[in-house]
């Protein structure tokens, strides 16, 4: 297994937001985290990438304990994160958004990586010199994913990448996830059952900060999971 999450707990003040969450993400596969609003999905991702330290529990990436590592070290160790709401640099060009990360990581072949990103999302090549903020929401999501890929992650972590995005771009993102998961692991938070079902090899359902269901994507049953998705 590539990412191992064991008995993770997280608090906001005295409120328990994650309650003993355990699961694994396997190499070259996609794991979907499902659950309704407030279930703890974003809190889980933020705890994994080090936005806030875990209260208790353990996070191992490729055999290395990263539980207390600062977020920039986790990024260097291979956690690539695309937060909800995308958070690209709106005033920089598309190219600059990606180049900043490429330069920061000092890879030996940045050109190859840049080409891979543009092949995955051709629109980024077409809009290379445009301001990030001029892109549509869906294009910004592609840019945010492209920027995360520029750090050559071992695990690409996506928080609701399809939220509020037009269907044609949802399809492009789905195709990209399929393409990428042969090369890296993907951890995806998703509210929509259909999208998760179509890309996930494994799934985990959270409810009130706890894992209430988990299994292979192919065995995920809509009726079974639906009870934990509707408000
Ligand atoms: P959504 O789909 O709405 O993003 P989620 O499953 O990602 O939902 P979280 O945002 O992780 O859920 O929230 C989990 C719980 O923690 C909720 O009860 C939420 O109200 C609470 N919570 C989240 N952020 C904070 C915060 N900054 N301070 C206090 N409580 C918070």
Residue pLDDT, tens place only, 75-85: 999 999 999 88
Q: Encode pLDDT of 195-231 as tens digits.
A: 888 899 999 999 999 999 998 888 788 777 888 887 6
Q: Is residue 207 within 8 Å of residue 36, measured between CB atoms?
A: yes
CA–centroid distance, 41 to ligand 1, in Å, is 8
Ligand 1 center to residue 27 CA distance, Å? 28
pLDDT at 231: 60
Cα 95 to ligand 1 centroid, rounded to whole Å: 33
Number of the ligand 1 atom closest to the C-alpha atom of 42: 7
CA of 42 to the centre of ligand 1 (A): 7
Closest ligand 1 atom to Cα of 84:
4
The CA distance from 12 to 160, in Å, is 22
Q: What is the pLDDT of residues 109-156, one digit of tens each?
A: 778 899 999 999 999 999 999 999 999 999 999 999 999 999 999 999
pLDDT band per the 50, 70, 90 thresholds, residue 194: confident
227 φ/ψ angles, rounded to the nearest 5 degrees: -60, -25
Atom number, ligand 1, closest to the C-alpha of residue 45: 11
Alpha carbons 42 and 158: distance in angstroms, whole number: 10
> What's the whole-model pTM score?
0.94
Cα(73)–Cα(66) distance, rounded to whole angstroms? 8
pLDDT of residue 225: 80
Atom number in ligand 1 closest to CA 191: 2
Q: Which residues line ligand 1 (CB under 6 A)?
A: 12, 15, 17, 35, 37-43
Report the greatest alpha carbon distance in the chain: 49
Q: Please choose from 15, 37, 43 the residue to mutate so as to test ligand 1's pocket, defined by most ligand atoms within 8 A of CB.
A: 43
């Amino acid at each position: 297994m590539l990412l191992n999450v064991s008995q993770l707990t997280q608090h906001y003040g005295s409120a328990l937001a994650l309650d003993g969450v355990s699961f694994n993400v396997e190499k070259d596969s996609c794991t979907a985290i499902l659950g309704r609003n407030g279930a703890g999905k974003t809190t889980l991702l933020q705890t994994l990438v080090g936005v806030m330290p875990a209260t208790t529990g353990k996070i191992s990436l490729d055999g290395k304990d990263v539980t207390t590592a600062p977020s920039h070290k986790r990024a260097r160790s291979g956690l690539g994160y695309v937060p909800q709401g995308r958070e690209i640099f709106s005033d920089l060009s598309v190219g600059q958004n990606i180049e900043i990360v490429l330069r920061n990581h000092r890879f030996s072949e940045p050109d190859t990586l840049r080409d891979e990103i543009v092949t995955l999302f051709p629109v980024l090549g077409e809009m290379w010199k445009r301001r990030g903020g001029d892109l549509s929401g869906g294009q910004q999501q592609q840019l945010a994913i492209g920027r995360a890929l520029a750090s050559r992650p071992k695990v690409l972590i996506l928080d609701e990448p399809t939220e509020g995005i037009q269907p044609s771009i949802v399809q492009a993102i789905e195709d990209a996830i399929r393409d990428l998961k042969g090369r890296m692991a993907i951890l995806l938070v998703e509210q929509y059952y259909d999208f998760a079902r179509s890309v996930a090899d494994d799934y985990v359902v959270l409810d009130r900060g706890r894992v209430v269901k988990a299994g292979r994507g192919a065995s995920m049953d809509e009726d079974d999971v639906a009870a934990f998705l509707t408000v």
